[in-house]
Amino acid sequence: MSSNKTPAGLGYRMPAEWEPHAATWLSWPRREGISFPDSFDRVLPALKQMVAALIGNGQSNASAARTSDPVCINVVNGAHEAEARAVLDSLPRQECITYYEIPTNEPWCRDHGPVFLTRDVDPRLAVVDWDYNAWGNKYPPFDQDEVVPTRIAELLEVPVFYPKMILEGGSIEVNGAGALLTSESCLLNKNRNPNLSREEIEQRLRSFLGVNEILWLGDGIEGDDTDGHIDDLARFVSQNKVVTVVEENSDDANYKPLQENLARLREMRVGGRKLDIELLPMPKKIVREGMRMPASYANFYIANKVVLVPTFADPADKMALSILSKCFPNRRVIGIDCRELIWGLGTFHCLTQQQPAV
């Protein structure tokens, strides 16, 4: 593809998550799926609270009650839609929820869903359909997940671009102004793109996301089956400010990699300026059936009027919510208990995909 036919060449860019949304996309989990073994019903309350927060329920004052984001939900068929409705139909503001028959294998829309682009001249929406192999062929089948971006692009009648590279949405984080954060442990993992060099991967990110500065962190957190997605590590909260998780217990397996990532962030420049860095705590170690869960406050989701933050009935919950409230003074920061949801090895950012407003 010639440079003037790439999204960047055509003036497209990936907006920051805090820029205005037209909708938030979700893929409703399947009872027979592998994400929540023996605990499917126990994750439904968190999903209901997530949707309620997005569509503006539970607000007393009229301005706050306006919808944060309309919610679009992928379902397999009518029976699957009925299962979702059994959970969500008791919520007010049903007009803000739309169901689409777009089958998926698992619910992690951040990773299998479309990465949306916009452009400022002749404004319009576009979709990047990265290849998808369920985090390095860990969880087959993923045939339905793999085609979701194109299905949504067809539904919305927008252009779709194909980089011919495996990438999950949770592995990249942008500031909307040309900078992208990612991790070596994921993007350079040979279970994704063994035939692409670091330089070739960087070039595709520039060409298909409209970025020019690629910022690399190192390893992810223990228990993260994605090989170190950035959305459990460090997130932009403004064009030049990031929040990053740190582990205070030097005996914890996460202490060293998170300290090394912090050291890298302190050396980074965006647009020639050093990053403004805010530290987020880590919750205490959560082990279930002998497995460490990748619990992280960095897996928050920024919607139009709210920020959804995973909490874990942990002493650090209050501190994390306070820090993020200061980062987002014009949004309501909502903590939702994710002790069951994390059994699927992800929380709110992993479940959501924003559709930018144009």
pLDDT at 41 over 60: yes
Does residue 25 contact residue 74 with C-beta atoms inside 8 Å? yes
What is the spatial order of strands in the sheet that 241-245 belongs to?
A: 234-238, 241-245, 276-280
**So what's the pLDDT on residue 4?**
65
pLDDT at 201 over 60: yes
- CATH number of the CATH domain containing 203: 3.75.10.10
The tens digit of pLDDT for each residue in 16-27 reads 999 999 999 999
Give the range of the structural domain holding residue 284, as residue numbers without chain letter.
Answer: 3-356
| Residue 57 banded pLDDT, cuts 50, 70, 90 | low
pLDDT at 115 over 60: yes
Q: How far are the Cα atoms of 55, 57, 241, 260 from residue 94, in angstroms, in the given order?
A: 8, 10, 36, 46
The tens digit of pLDDT for each residue in 228-253 reads 999 999 999 999 999 999 999 999 99
* Cα–Cα distance, 66 to 96 (Å, whole number): 10
Count of domains in the chain?
Answer: 1
Q: Please calculate the CA angle 177-238-204 and round it to the nearest 5 degrees.
A: 35
E strand or H helix at 238, and its extent? strand 234-238
Strand extents, DSSP E, 61-195 = 71-75, 97-101, 115-119, 125-128, 160-161, 173-174, 179-183
Which positions are catalytic?
A: 350
**What's this model's pTM, rounded to 2 decimal places?**
0.96
